[in-house]
Amino acid sequence: MSLVKENINVAFRSVRTQVLRTSLTISIIAIGITALVGILTSIDAIESKITSDFSRLGANTFSVMSKSSRGRHQGKTQKTYPRIDYYQATAFKDQYHYPATVSVSSRVSFNSTLKYEGKKTNPNVAVLGGDESYLKTTGYDLEVGRNFSINDVDQGYNVVLLGTDIIDKIFSESENPLGKQVYIGAAKFTLIGILKSKGNSMGFSGDNQAIIPIGYAQRNLESENTRYSINVMTNNPKDMDNAIGEATGLMRKVRKDPIGKEDSFRVRRSESLAKELLENLSTVTIAASVIGAITLIGAAIGLMNIMLVSVTERTKEIGLRKSLGASSKTILGQFLIEAIVIGQLGGYLGIILGIIIGNVTASIVGTSFIIPWDWMIIGVVLCVIIGILSGIYPARKASKLDPIEALRHE
């Protein structure tokens, strides 16, 4: 044990005497570990956010939306399907009698500007049309104010629900926003409710959006490209398959899909969308691992080169230690431990940087602080492996030096 401790001390002394070379190698190792730990911790944070967001919707929610495909594939023109229009969506809502809550919504704009008196938002506000059940089926809650009434939706009144990001930008802290008149483009709306904060997910802010009655959106803002979606929340999660089956049959009837032909729309469970997003993230995980592995291979080569140079420069020292009784095994252990120490220094630096980068991402997407114990352990193990693989050849070379020839070395 005392020999190992002595070899570690010798390793640190060697690092201090070769600051520039060891610093470069440590930096390369740190970059590789940072890529692994940082990116993978960021992915963990995003996965946590996606899981959290979709769990709010529950396992009893699904959507009916337009199916579309454009362009050419393998030389063939792909089939396109008519969009779900407002009348089809509302007809489905009126005729769907399964024990469930149904809402109709549409995307109006992703780049609107809201104004109140002399203040305005950036042109990046998402404006959606929704009905009286939209908040319930999409997992939103109200901080203050009220939801749309059936009358608001049917009559298409100029009322709006706003996210907290918008409220913070156009109203002062001492001001009560409820009842105020805000402009979306050139249209004036009365603010009746403020949504509870949902944070950011996959680059989209749930707090930077405005929801207006679907009736108003359909009458005043509809275009030929407007697509309507139907959200369904069953009363019992166990009824999902039956609810989807009935919804599919009803939508085929509303859309007049011919018997024997495929559906002209698509049905998506909220959990399946989360699964698709997580599967996409797994591709990013593989890419990050490959980038980190390539960087670490380069670092291993650099570390081996440094150790070979160190053996050459310290040939006399090796000869002196052998002449004083040090065994080949002791010399091998000395240089091997030195390589492992350099690898661990790079690894610890990379882990620290990776945790910082990962938690900056966690802060941006709105999740709690993450300590990636699994990736930290993997990083430490990888650096030990790099140290052993990079140091074994130089260490063996040093251990086989003849003490007399080593002492004569210039």
Question: For the segment 130-179, what is each residue's pLDDT rounded down to a tens digit?
Answer: 999 999 888 888 999 999 999 999 999 999 999 999 999 999 888 899 99
Q: Distance between CA atoms of 277 and 271, rounded to whole angstroms?
A: 10
- 48/99 same-domain check: no
Does residue 71 belong to any structural domain of this protein?
no
Cα torsion at 190, 191, 192, 197 (round to 10°)?
160
Does residue 205 belong to any structural domain of this protein?
yes
Does residue 271 belong to any structural domain of this protein?
no
The pLDDT, as a whole number, for residue 407 is: 67
- Coil, strand or helix: which one is 208? coil
Does residue 73 belong to any structural domain of this protein?
no
Q: Which helix (H) or strand (E) holds 399?
A: helix 373-399
Q: How would you classify residue 205: left for phi > 0, otherwise alpha for psi between -120 and 50, otherwise beta?
A: beta
- 160/248 same-domain check: yes
- Coil, strand or helix: which one is 56? helix
Q: Distance between CA atoms of 377 and 37, rounded to whole angstroms?
A: 10
186: its two tokens = 């050139």
Q: What's the domain range around 160?
A: 82-263
What is residue 28's DSSP assignment?
H
- 216/341 same-domain check: no
The pLDDT, as a whole number, for residue 275 is: 61
Tokens 């352990």 found at = 377
Does residue 393 belong to any structural domain of this protein?
yes
Tokens 């995980």 found at = 285
Q: Distance between CA atoms of 129 and 228, rounded to whole angstroms?
A: 9
- 120/158 same-domain check: yes
Cβ contacts of 182 within 8 Å, gap of 6 or more: 114, 115, 116, 160, 162, 170, 188, 189, 191
* Number of domains forming the structure of the chain: 2
Instruction: For residue 385, give the nearest of 336, 313, 335, 332 by alpha carbon.
Output: 336
Q: Distance between CA atoms of 168 and 81, rounded to whole angstroms?
A: 41
The rounded average pLDDT for each run of 10 residues, N- to C-terminus, in the chain (410 residues) is: 67 72 80 81 74 59 80 58 91 93 92 90 92 90 93 94 93 90 93 85 68 94 88 82 91 91 85 61 74 78 80 76 76 81 86 86 75 82 85 82 66
> 263, 291, 308: which is the final residue of a domain?
263
- 382/258 same-domain check: no
The pLDDT, as a whole number, for residue 133 is: 93
For 16-74, the pLDDT digits (tens) are 777 777 787 788 888 888 877 887 787 777 777 666 665 555 567 889 998 875 545 55
Q: Distance between CA atoms of 125 and 111, rounded to whole angstroms?
A: 5
- 310/391 same-domain check: yes
Q: Distance between CA atoms of 73 and 397, rounded to whole angstroms?
A: 59
Q: Distance between CA atoms of 359 and 380, rounded to whole angstroms?
A: 19
- 286/312 same-domain check: yes
Does residue 58 belong to any structural domain of this protein?
no
The pLDDT, as a whole number, for residue 408 is: 64
Q: What number of residues does the chain have? A: 410
The pLDDT, as a whole number, for residue 217 is: 94
Q: How would you classify residue 108: left for phi > 0, otherwise alpha for psi between -120 and 50, otherwise beta?
A: alpha
Strand positions, DSSP E, 196-264? 200-201, 204-205, 209-213, 228-234
